[in-house]
Each structure stands twice: as C-alpha cells, then as structure tokens.
Amino acid sequence: MSKLVIVGTVAFDAIETPFGKTDKILGGAATYIGLSAANFNVDQAAVSVVGGDFPQEYLDLLKDRNVNIEGIEIVKDGKTFFWSGKYHNDMNSRDTLATELNVLEHFNPVVPQNYRDAEIVMLGNLHPLVQLGVLDQMTKKPKLAILDTMNFWMDIALDDLHKVIKRVDVITINDEEARQLTGEYSLVVAARKIHEMGPKYVVIKKGEHGALLFHNDHMFYAPALPLEEVFDPTGAGDTFAGGFAGYLASTGDISFENMKNAVIYGSTLASFCVEKFGTERMVSLKEDEVNIRLQAFKNLTQFDIDLK
C-alpha cells in the first residue's frame, strides 16, 4: 500500500446554489481530497490547520475514513479558514463571496514523521509557500508530486506559485485558471506552456464538460458523466484530484496509460460529490455505487468503429 500525503484547506464553507443555501458546513480542499482518496487502498495523511472553533466531530469523520489527522494542527485561539461562494444558474461558474484566511495566515505545515517518505504527494489548494514547505519536508523525492491551485493564488502569490509549479510532476487546474496562468485561450497551447513551466503532465478540468490530460504530444479526454441531479459543485475539483491521486497511489503505476484510468476514477468520484450539498454525498458513498458508475462511464465512452 502506497503512502499519500495531502495538504490543503480544512474549512468552513457557506454555499449558495439555485437549489438552496447552507450555513457554515464542513469543506476545504484537503477534506474533499481525503474523502475521495479514501475510496482506495492507501495510507493517507492530511496536513492542514483549523481553529479552536472546528468541531471534533468533523476531525473524527476524516479519521473514521482512514485519513491520518496528526498533521492537522489545531490553533485553539484561532478561527478556521472560511470560504463562501454563490453559483450561477448554469452551475458551472461561481462567485466567491468571502475568503477569510484566519489560521491559514501564519500556518507552518508539519508533515508527520512517518509520512515524510510518501510515494505520492497531493498539494491541494492552499498558499503556494505552504505547498513548497510540504515538498521540502519530504525525506526522499516522491514518485509523483501533484499540484492543484486556483485563481485566488494566481492573483496574490503568482511568483511563489511559479516556484511550486516548477517542482511538481502533475498539475490539475480548471480551464479558466489555465487560461489565466498562460494568457492563452486554446487549452492545447495553454497545456504546452504549462509543460514548459515544469509539470510533465497537465490535467485541465472543464467542470460538466469533463477533463483533459496532456503529456508531451499525447492527449486524453474524459467527459463528465451526464447527471440528472447537480446540486452543489463545490469540491468537485478536489474530489477529482483525490480520486486521481488515490488511484495512482493504490496501483503504484504512474505511467501515462494508468493516468488515463486515474482521470476516469477522478471524474467518477467527482460525479457523486456534486449530487448533494458539501461533503454529504462523499461521506455516504459505497464501493458498489462507484463500480456501477464506472461501468456507466465505460458504456458512455466505448465505441467500436471499423476503420478501412
């Protein structure tokens, strides 16, 4: 079983979609990544920080799903990171209403000793200097370092972000962010430019339009499963990343061919995430449900044309 280190926010989210509104609920990049990777046979640890206002029951929820939480620091007199977002009617775009960094402002990540030799490192959405701090603590070079980020960090910490991009093997980023990072409209050209920044593999997430995987001149595309119900897309990107990283960690195979399957697993798990508010659907997810949906994915994309 491979070890997987995850870094990212563990947060309170307040979400508004055309279908309803929530008060502060459990969220954060590391939370979604951990819950998603928990669907695989991996030994994973989350590195993050929360305030004294963070309920023990949320930490227990992660622990119960085999996410090691030793690396989640609790700042007793601090407040947990808070994010609030409102989705537009198409559910594919959203406005950020609030980002309160709180305890994240002075966070120095500490990777638990036992995980410093992890094969896979998943650098989830968080300040690029914190992501770099995690990479620097690894005692041996991970087999694969994967980076996820967002426009927020491009706006306020672009130089630091470039430093971390240079050091990772894979980047997962959404289409809008890929365009912002490179100044290119074409995603093919954007992916090429991102390759030049460092990562050998570039995954561009396109929300309900699926995900693209680029490696040199090779390209792979997975659609998103068309769903009857999309309730709340929050965390879909992180859930994708967690599925991608979790699958690669559990198989130990980081070839391009296997990464295609990792993209399919990521997309499949993300398709569950959006069906309910927040983490609700991921918490109740069962293995046979995942398998049924993987089969649906296969049926959706398989065809057999005789080429002359």
Q: Of the candidates 126, 145, 194, 202, which one interacts with ligand AMP according to CB under 6 A?
A: 126
Say whether residue 13 binds ligand AMP (CB under 6 A). Answer: yes
CB closer to ligand AMP out of 26 and 119: 26
CB of 63 vs ligand AMP, minimal distance in Å: 19
- Residue span binding ligand AMP (CB under 6 A) among the ranges 21-29, 52-60, 110-118, 185-193: 21-29
Return the residues of window 154-213 that contact ligand AMP according to CB under 6 A.
none
The residue among 271, 214, 190 whose CA lies nearest residue 237 is 271
Say whether residue 28 binds ligand AMP (CB under 6 A). Answer: yes
CB of 225 vs ligand AMP, minimal distance in Å: 17
Number of residues near ligand AMP (by CB under 6 A) = 17
Q: Among positive and negative, which fits the CA dihedral 151, 153, 157, 158? A: negative
CB closer to ligand AMP out of 3 and 67: 67
Say whether residue 131 binds ligand AMP (CB under 6 A). Answer: no
Q: Please, what is the Cα angle at 307 between 306 and 308, to 5 degrees?
A: 115
d(CA 153, CA 294): 33
Q: What is the residue type of 156?
A: I
The residue among 116, 155, 102, 109 whose CA lies nearest residue 132 is 109
Q: Of the candidates 17, 48, 125, 182, which one interacts with ligand AMP according to CB under 6 A?
A: 125
On the 0-12 / 13-18 / 19+ scale of CB atoms within 10 A, 232 is buried
CB closer to ligand AMP out of 3 and 5: 5
Helix (H) or strand (E) holding 5: strand 3-7
- The residues near 245 (Cβ < 8 Å, ≥ 6 apart) are 4, 6, 33, 37, 120, 122, 146, 262
Q: Which two tokens mark 230?
A: 């999309």
- The residues near 98 (Cβ < 8 Å, ≥ 6 apart) are 14, 82, 83, 84
d(CA 178, CA 165): 12
Is 159 marked active-site?
no
* Residue of 160, 238, 253, 288 with catalytic role: 238
Say whether residue 102 binds ligand AMP (CB under 6 A). Answer: no
Say whether residue 236 binds ligand AMP (CB under 6 A). Answer: yes
Say whether residue 234 binds ligand AMP (CB under 6 A). Answer: yes
Say whether residue 29 binds ligand AMP (CB under 6 A). Answer: yes
Say whether residue 9 binds ligand AMP (CB under 6 A). Answer: yes
Say whether residue 99 binds ligand AMP (CB under 6 A). Answer: yes
Instruction: Give me the residues that bind ligand AMP (CB under 6 A), please.
Output: 9, 11, 13, 27-29, 83, 99, 125-126, 150, 152, 234-238
Residues recognised as catalytic:
238
